[in-house]
Amino acid sequence: MSEVGSRRAETNGLGSSLMAHHSSLSRWPHRLAVILAGATFPLLFIGGLVTSLGVGLAVPDWPTTFGYNMFLYPWTKMIGGIFYEHSHRLVASAVGILTIALALTFWLQENRRWLRWLGISALGLVLLQGVLGGLRVVLLQQTLAIIHACIAQAFFALTVSLVLFTADEWRDEARGEPIADGGRLRRLGTITTAFIYIQIVFGAVLRHTGERLDAHLLLAALVALHAVLLLVRITKLHGDHAMLVRPANFLGLLLLVQLLLGAASYFGKFTSLLRWSNEAIVLTTTMHLITGALMLMTSLAITLRAYRLSKVAPPLEAKILTEQYSV
């Protein structure tokens, strides 16, 4: 066999080994990450309803529910505000159980050490969130409710990150050259994500106290500006990267929806221009909260992918082959 044929055979053998390796990797870390993120999103919606309806203290005790074990509370008694608050507790418990399963699965089946510890971090965060929610009921502290709302958004963002990190696109180093202008894109994505989260913080303050509307509006303007800049930069310079273009377009759509919801929430809640029913105001403000969470998720995904695509390098196996067969 010629030298070229021998090299080709070895390369094909290595390729087959890599394919066999990937096929042997467990899909459960990614599946559980998707399930966890999917369960956390409706939990945010229910939590928003609880706040908008003002029923966060409809159940006065914790961790019990009117003296019952939380999971044994009769469904027939779940009426009015109790229905929303107790449902929130049950869904939150399900998210906690899923997070435990995810952390264990990461530890047993994920070969990237940093990702295993990130799973443990998610578990620690969800435990902290549960304790804060309980202390909010026991201590009657409004500050704890604000912190609880902010951590909920951070936890959702973390679950979305875990979905990305366990996806096939993150299992191997990407091939090709780094994207052009990657440094500026990373910085712009990071700043946009930070502004969105800070706006969420002031939004939580506004929802729970009725204060700092000025700061919330200022951050809304900064978010809008940077989201547009991010969309324009990706469209102009990275139009051939679908992994950036699709979420950037989605972020632009979410921004438009968020501005409309924000304006409707403001006029419906703080002025008399819109004579809406209480149900309409509750739904609008809750959708405003949820859209903010989707914007945070999307901006974060863009930023993480920008970091990844800015540092593209040939896979280690390709480097080894190149060095081994170089003349």
Residue 68 pairs in a beta bridge with: 65
Domain boundary among 172, 195, 212: 172
Task: Single out the residue in 172, 194, 224 at which a domain terminates.
Answer: 172
Q: Do 124 and 37 reside in the same domain of the chain?
A: yes
Domain boundary among 104, 137, 172: 172
Residue 200 is assigned to a structural domain of this protein: yes
Whether residues 102 and 138 share a domain: the answer is yes
Question: Are 168 and 183 in the same domain?
Answer: no
* Residue 319 lies inside a defined structural domain of this protein: no
Tell me whether residue 327 is in a domain.
Answer: no
Chain position carrying tokens 């264990």: 104
Flag whether the pTM goes above 0.95: no
* Domain count along the chain: 2
- CB-based burial label for 44 (10 Å; 0-12, 13-18, 19+): buried
Same domain, 241 and 274: yes
Same structural domain for residues 211 and 166?
Answer: no
Cα separation, 98 vs 123, whole angstroms? 9
Q: Do 163 and 31 belong together in one domain?
A: yes
Min mean pLDDT across 20-34, 178-192, 307-321 is at 307-321
Domain range for 70 is 26-172
Q: Within a domain: residue 9?
A: no
List, for residues 144-193, the tens digit of each pLDDT value: 999 999 999 999 999 999 999 999 888 765 556 777 777 899 999 999 99
The answer to whether residue 5 sits within a structural domain is no
Q: What is the mean pLDDT of residues 44-58?
A: 90
CA 169 – CA 159 distance, rounded (Å)? 17
Which tens digits make up the pLDDT trace of 54-81? 898 899 999 899 999 989 999 889 998 8
